[in-house]
Amino acid sequence: METFLQTLSRLGPMRLVAILGITAGVTIALILMASGMGRAEKALLYTELSLKEAGEISARLEQMNVKYELRSGGTAIFVERDKIQNAKMTLAADNLPSSASIGYDIFDQAGSMGQTTFTQNINKLRALQGELERTITTLDGVEAARVLLVLPVRQLFQTKTEKAKASVTIKLSANSIGHRQTTAIQHLVASAVPGLITGSVTIIDDTGRVLSDGNADALNGNASSGRRADIEEALRSKIQQVLTSITGQAGVEVQVNVELDRDRITEKSTVFDPDGQVVISSSTSEQNSDDKDRAQNGAVTVGGNVPSSSSAEDTEPGSSSVTSSTTETINYGVSKTETTRVFQSGVIKRLSIAVNVDGVAGVDAEGNSTWVPRTAEEMIQIENLVKSAVGFDLSRKDQVQVTNIRFSKPTPLVIDDTASKPGFDKNDIMRMIELAILAIVSIVMMLFLGRPLIMALFSGGGALVGGSGGLAIAGAGGGVVAAGIGNNGAMPQLPGASGVNPGQAALPAPDAAGGFEEPGLDVSQIEGQVKASSVKKVAGIVESHPEESMSILRTWLHEA
């Protein structure tokens, strides 16, 4: 203990303060790094939350005893990585985050006791809107949705009511969605609301673009635009599928332009066939009549007017007439054909197709890669394949242009597969870096701070060997003078030999071989009793540690 205190006293106050400061700083750094390594890494749980949702989720996490951290102004919540899955499952069971949409679960929150009819109708409307929002959000390309319904209330004794209407605002995850998705949303909303038709559903996106305003004319125009894009994409896929087996995936480029006829035509026609007469009905009527006139003598008697009288007057001759007629009526029908034809809008009016085909890679005599154009026969075959794939019609004035052009191919990037390390993510790599830094700092502390202190403790300031050892220094005439510390701890004085300044005492210079000359011992010049074995030990220490010995001597000279 005394040796340790003596060593500290020889270091001086400035060196002690520096050593203590460095030790404290390194210790604090190690403690901070160890605490940071022991703390679990935080990962994102939810983002883009409203303040209300963030408050509800934070309260639920506190009940679950899960540590969390709010970032981005309270709109993002971070929790420990190993607790993300459990936290999401528990919050989902509590319908969190609700995303500001309430479905039919609104009726589970409170009973119907004490609620008026108006409140129940409003809750029903909110529930319907919330269910539609949740369903629309599940569509591909839709990140969020907001639905507003206008349902007319039928009054008593009212025969006519207004039509139901709906407006849908969607937030797109991509730049835009196709006509099919827009039409699907319209039909979805119209089918879920009683009395609502697709023409009364207006759809806009978060940038203010009107995707469908419910107008019939605009709807037909949007349908034509969407149908045009679908037809062009379908034809392009067909052509690429046919030519990929010939040119390869990167050896063909196709552009298709489709002109559609947007006119909707209804045509009715009636055709009569005079040669196709048929009997519809026939009728025949026959009439017969027999008229006789008797001769009159000019006298009017009673007997003459009696029918059954058999008088002589009956035998008198008179005039008679017989008439017979037959009438036949036949009704004929002429065959006719009535045709009603409806031409919908969106019929292909004209096709314009441009196809660029790359050549064939070849090798010249020197072994270098070259580009070889395709032959005319190959180009004709490719053109015929394209025409057959798209249904080429010359009456529509369709155009197909096939060109053989050399493609510009960029130099492919060389990816080193060995650089990728599966199973390690960013957080694991950072943890490994922290461990490496901690190991390096520990090694540096052991080499530059712990090792000198330990050597100083065991060697008694770097120049002590036991309690009676000493350090030999050069004396007069090239001799060696031993100086040591006695048992009482007192520092001995350097001997003052003739012609030698004590302040100029130094270790013996090395010889040509790079070692120290073995010093001679002149006992007559030594004051006091010194053992020869102690002097040899000190000489061996000096030879083994010349730099430390020099540093100790300089310290002694500085203190003297």
CB atoms within 10 A of CB 24: 10
Give the pLDDT of residue 304. Answer: 61
Better pLDDT: 556 or 375: 375
- What average pLDDT does this structure show over 183-193? 91
3-state secondary structure 333-383: EEEEEEEEEEECCCEEEEEEEEEEECCEEEECCCCCEEEECCCHHHHHHHH
- What average pLDDT does this structure show over 289-312? 61
456 occurs within a structural domain? no
Cα–Cα distance, 318 to 304 (Å, whole number):
15
Are residues 246 and 363 part of one domain?
Answer: yes
Flag whether pLDDT at 307 surpasses 90.
no
Are residues 165 and 85 part of one domain?
Answer: no
Which tens digit of pLDDT belongs to each residue from 521-550? 554 555 555 566 777 788 888 888 888 888
Flag whether pLDDT at 554 surpasses 70.
yes
Give the pLDDT of residue 173. Answer: 78
**Helical axes 451-459 vs 2-11, angle rounded to 10°:** 120
Give the pLDDT of residue 464. Answer: 37
Helix (H) or strand (E) holding 169: strand 165-172
Helix (H) or strand (E) holding 319: strand 319-343
Range(s) of the domain holding residue 392: 231-264+345-404
Cα–Cα distance, 475 to 545 (Å, whole number):
20
Number of structural domains (the chain) is: 3
Give the pLDDT of residue 74. Answer: 83
CATH number at residue 251: 3.30.300.20
CATH number at residue 64: 3.30.70.1530
Helix (H) or strand (E) holding 551: helix 546-559
- Provide the pLDDT confidence category of residue 506 given band limits of 50, 70 and 90: very low
Flag whether pLDDT at 520 surpasses 60.
no
3-state secondary structure 251-311: CEEEEEEEEEECCCEEEEEEEEEEEEEEEEEEEEEEEEEEEEECCCCCCCCHHHHCCCCCC
Give the pLDDT of residue 263. Answer: 80
Give the pLDDT of residue 527. Answer: 52
Better pLDDT: 298 or 502: 298
Which tens digit of pLDDT belongs to each residue from 443-459? 777 676 666 666 655 55
The β-bridge relationship of strands 399-404 and 347-357 is parallel
Flag whether pLDDT at 486 surpasses 90.
no
312 occurs within a structural domain? no
Query: In terms of Cα–Cα distance, which of 353, 373, 369 is closest to 251?
Result: 373
Flag whether pLDDT at 356 surpasses 60.
yes
Are residues 351 and 244 part of one domain?
Answer: yes
Residue 343 phi/psi, 5° resolution? -100, 110
Give the pLDDT of residue 296. Answer: 56
Are residues 185 and 88 part of one domain?
Answer: no
From the number of C-beta atoms within 10 Å of its C-beta (0-12, 13-18, 19+), residue 236 rates as middle
Are residues 124 and 55 part of one domain?
Answer: no
Give the pLDDT of residue 503. Answer: 42
- Provide the pLDDT confidence category of residue 501 given band limits of 50, 70 and 90: very low
Assess contact for 355 and 390: CB atoms under 8 A: no
Cα–Cα distance, 161 to 266 (Å, whole number):
32
3-state secondary structure of 8: helix
- Provide the pLDDT confidence category of residue 48 given band limits of 50, 70 and 90: confident
Token digits of residue 146: 């907001």
Are residues 86 and 125 part of one domain?
Answer: no
Are residues 384 and 357 part of one domain?
Answer: yes
CATH number at residue 185: 3.30.300.30
CA dihedral over 214, 218, 224, 227, signed as positive or negative:
negative
386 occurs within a structural domain? yes
Query: In terms of Cα–Cα distance, which of 40, 44, 47, 83 is closest to 65?
Result: 83
458 occurs within a structural domain? no
Are residues 243 and 196 part of one domain?
Answer: no
What separation in angstroms does the CA of 244 have from each of 251, 362, 377? 7, 19, 18
Which tens digit of pLDDT belongs to each residue from 19-34? 777 777 777 777 766 6
- Provide the pLDDT confidence category of residue 187 given band limits of 50, 70 and 90: very high
Which tens digit of pLDDT belongs to each residue from 317-341? 566 777 888 888 888 777 888 888 8
Are residues 257 and 380 part of one domain?
Answer: yes
Which tens digit of pLDDT belongs to each residue from 264-300? 888 888 888 877 777 788 888 888 877 766 555 556 6
Average pLDDT, the chain: 74
454 occurs within a structural domain? no
244 occurs within a structural domain? yes
- Residue count of the chain, please give it: 560
Token digits of residue 251: 């050896």
Q: Would the pTM of this model clear 0.85, i.e. be above it?
A: no
3-state secondary structure of 78: strand
Flag whether pLDDT at 478 surpasses 80.
no
Are residues 192 and 135 part of one domain?
Answer: yes
434 occurs within a structural domain? no
Are residues 360 and 243 part of one domain?
Answer: yes
Are residues 357 and 249 part of one domain?
Answer: yes
User: Cβ neighbours of residue 292 under 8 Å, at least 6 residues apart?
Assistant: 318, 319, 320, 321
Better pLDDT: 117 or 128: 128
